[in-house]
C-alpha cells in the first residue's frame, strides 16, 4: 500500500514538472514575434533634436552581434551601432549623436538621445535605419513634434525623413 502511494505521488510530481515545463516553453513561444518594429519619438527644438528609440531586445542584440562581427569589434558597442543607424544631417554634415541613457525590460531595450545642431540651414535629414541590416521587413515608426511636426514609417528602402525648419 505504501508503495502504491509513493508511486502515485511520484507520478503526480512528474505530471506537475511536465506541466511547468510546457508552461515555460509556451511563454517562450509567446515572447517570439513575427513583426519587426522599432519606435522613435523625438522633439525638434531650435538647436536640438531630443528623443527615445525602442526596439525588441532580441532583434537589437542580434543586430548588435552582426555589427560586432562585421566591424571585427572585440566588445559589444551600442554607440557604434546606433551612430551608424540613427543619424541627423544638417546641410550634408553629420551632427554628433549623444546617447544619454538606456534601459530594458523583459522584451524591449530603449535609448534616449540628443543631436545638437547649429540651425544654420533650413532643413535637416533624420535617418533611422536600425535593424534594417538584420531584417529586410524592419519598420521604424518615427514621430517628431516641436518645431517640426511629422511622422513616417522608415524602412531599408526609405530610411530617412526630411525636416523643414521654420525660418
Encode pLDDT of 87-133 as tens digits: 999 988 999 999 999 999 999 999 999 999 987 778 999 999 998 98
Q: Please provide the DSSP assignment of 9-61 as one string.
A: HHHHHHHHHHHHHHHHHHHHHHH--S--EEEEEEEE-SSEEEEEEEEEHHHHH
Percent of the chain with pLDDT over 70: 78
How far is Cα 84 from Cα 78, in angstroms, rounded to an integer?
Answer: 10
Residue 81 vs residues 6, 9, 53, 124: alpha-carbon distances, Å = 58, 54, 13, 21
pTM: 0.77
Is it the case that residue 67 has pLDDT exceeding 80? yes
Is it the case that residue 11 has pLDDT exceeding 80? no
- Picking from 21-35, 125-139, 143-157, which range would have the lowest pLDDT averaged per residue? 21-35
Read off the pLDDT band of 30 (50, 70, 90). very low
How far is Cα 144 from Cα 152, in angstroms, rounded to an integer?
Answer: 9
How far is Cα 88 from Cα 53, in angstroms, rounded to an integer?
Answer: 14
Is it the case that residue 12 has pLDDT exceeding 80? no
Amino acid at each position: 500500500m505504501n508503495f502504491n502511494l509513493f508511486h502515485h505521488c511520484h507520478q503526480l510530481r512528474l505530471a506537475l514538472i511536465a506541466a511547468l515545463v510546457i508552461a515555460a516553453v509556451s511563454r517562450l513561444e509567446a515572447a517570439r514575434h513575427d513583426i519587426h518594429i522599432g519606435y522613435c519619438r523625438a522633439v525638434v527644438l531650435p538647436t536640438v533634436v531630443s528623443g527615445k528609440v525602442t526596439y525588441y531586445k532580441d532583434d537589437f542584440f542580434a543586430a548588435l552581434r552582426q555589427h560586432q562581427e562585421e566591424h571585427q569589434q572585440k566588445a559589444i558597442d551600442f554607440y557604434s551601432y546606433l551612430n551608424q543607424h540613427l543619424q541627423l544631417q544638417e546641410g550634408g554634415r553629420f551632427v554628433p549623436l549623444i546617447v544619454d541613457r538606456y534601459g530594458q525590460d523583459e522584451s524591449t531595450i530603449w535609448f534616449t538621445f540628443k543631436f545638437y545642431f547649429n540651425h544654420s540651414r533650413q532643413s535637416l535629414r533624420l535617418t533611422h535605419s536600425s535593424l534594417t541590416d538584420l531584417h529586410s521587413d524592419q519598420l521604424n515608426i518615427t514621430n517628431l513634434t516641436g518645431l517640426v511636426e511629422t511622422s513616417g514609417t522608415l524602412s531599408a528602402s526609405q530610411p530617412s525623413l526630411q525636416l523643414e525648419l521654420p525660418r
